[in-house]
Amino acid sequence: MQKKTLHQGAVRILYRVGIRPKNVNHLREAECSLSSAATNIPKPSETALPRFLSIPRCSSGVFFELFRFPPIRYRPAETTGSNVNPREAAMQQETFHWPHKDLLDVDQLTQEELFHLLDTAANLHEINSRPVKKVPILKGKSVVLFFAEPSTRTKTSFDMAGKRLSADTYSLAKSGSSLNKGESLKDTALTLQAMGPDVIVIRHPSSGAAQFLAERVSCGIVNGGDGWHAHPTQALLDSFALRQVWGDAFAGKQVLILGDIAHSRVARSNVHLLTMLGAKVRLCAPRTLLPAGVESWPVDVYGDLNQAVRDTDAVMCLRLQLERQQAGLLPDLAEYSRRFCLTERHLELTHPGVKVLHPGPMNRGLEISNDVADDPRSLVLDQVASGVATRMAVLYLLATRNDGGC
């Protein structure tokens, strides 16, 4: 049955000025007019609103309510019941209180929470295509980006995500922090906490660093990648990018994760999240680059790329993390490239419509060929765009969880 989506802010402001929309078309016309007024903020003499929508001039803060996310979702009462799946349950609720102070890994999320986060990201994704890519949802909030490891995509997209929601973002690198002077991670965290941020995004070379901070500070902690352990927002944006293509039809999809599995926090988070969504996950790597205990993971393991890639719906290449590897794991990079570099020849063995992903940075010719990286079936740049929207959703949910919003 068709679901109707009404924006909470628009309904609130219409009722505030005494307007009762007669029908859905009436409401949509009102929303369009209010959105135009909020964007242009014309002088009173220039205001051109529909005859039924005569609104007195007021502060722009009232118009800001139009952009509260996510929207309220309504569905007829007769379709609700005890047999709805988590995806539908998340959409049925008029409000959804985000229960988590931190985002440390995807395994802390229920299906209902996962779909709520992805739906929120989808709503916010539209902002990134506007001429003016900024809304005041997090105005007055502050986000600290504490990156003790180099980063281009994750750090920049978190910075951009915060700024597009009007949060104040502050960057801190290890080279510019007192960690280089011998200060402990605990003292650095407590120092940042004393400054009153709403969210701290941390990337650290030690597994468990995000959990360590989350247990010692009261503000929200987002794990931007900790050692080999987890990278939850990368897994979320990968699923968001695939969802843009597949919709919610993940069940039965074959996804191959190829490359340095042993040292990849991206692989660990993606295995859990893709399995939760119903996809079937395969791993392919040299034996020396498979993690201990991989036999207990809910995956199929391959050592031959030609076999692993057959009839797959998506292939996710991983960066070869030489900086984390011990000597002797890969004696010959040329041999690795010959056996495990994804090429056009391999894509011929996949399912029609296959999609190719890579978390970046790519080592072309080693992990993925130039032709495949630039192929129309590649979602690499879509992943980057999805990262901004997904991280906007994460910051919004954590920063506003105690504000009485969704």
Question: One digit per residue, pLDDT tens: the chain, 406 residues?
Answer: 444 444 555 555 544 444 555 555 555 565 565 555 444 544 433 333 333 333 333 333 333 333 444 433 333 333 344 455 555 554 444 578 899 999 999 999 999 999 999 999 999 999 999 999 999 999 999 999 999 888 888 999 999 999 999 999 998 876 666 666 668 888 888 888 899 999 999 999 999 999 999 999 999 999 999 998 999 999 999 999 999 999 999 999 999 999 999 999 999 999 999 999 999 999 999 999 999 999 999 999 999 999 999 999 999 999 988 776 666 677 788 899 999 999 999 999 999 999 999 998 999 999 999 999 999 999 999 999 999 999 999 999 999 998 754 4
Report the pLDDT value the prediction gives residue 306, as an integer from 0 to 100: 97
Distances 211 to 101, 192, 215, 254, 280 between C-alpha atoms, Å: 12, 16, 6, 32, 29
Q: Are 144 and 192 in contact (CB under 8 A)?
A: yes
Assessment of whether the complete model's pTM goes beyond 0.95: no
Dihedrals φ, ψ of 198, to 5°? -90, -35
pLDDT attached to residue 298: 96
Task: Return the pLDDT at 4.
Answer: 43
Q: Which pLDDT score, from 0 to 100, does residue 243 have?
A: 97
How many Cα atoms occupy the beta-carbon half-sphere of 134 within 13 Å? 10
Position 396 scores a pLDDT of: 97
Cβ–Cβ < 8 Å for 188, 179: yes
Look at residue 10 in the predicted model and tell me its pLDDT: 54
* Domain 127-232+386-399, architecture per CATH: 3-Layer(aba) Sandwich (3.40)
Give me the residue spans of the domains in the chain: 4-98, 127-232+386-399, 235-322+329-379
pLDDT of residue 41: 45
Q: Tokens 């969802």 belong to which residue?
A: 243
Q: Which class for 57: exposed (0-12), middle (13-18), buried (19 or more C-beta within 10 A)?
A: exposed
Token couple for 165: 């929601």
User: What pLDDT does 77 receive?
Assistant: 33
Cβ atoms of 301 and 330 within 8 Å: the answer is: no
pLDDT, position 17: 45
Q: Where are the alpha helices (DSSP H) in 126-280?
A: 153-164, 185-194, 209-214, 232-246, 265-276
Helix axes 380-399, 111-125, angle to 10 degrees: 110
- Whose structure tokens read 């220039």? 46
State the architecture of 235-322+329-379 in CATH terms.
3-Layer(aba) Sandwich (3.40)
* Within this chain, domains 127-232+386-399 and 235-322+329-379 share the same CATH topology: yes
Letter string b/e over residues 8-34, b meaning 16 or more CB atoms within 10 A of that residue's CB:
bbbbebbeeeebebeeeebbebbbebb
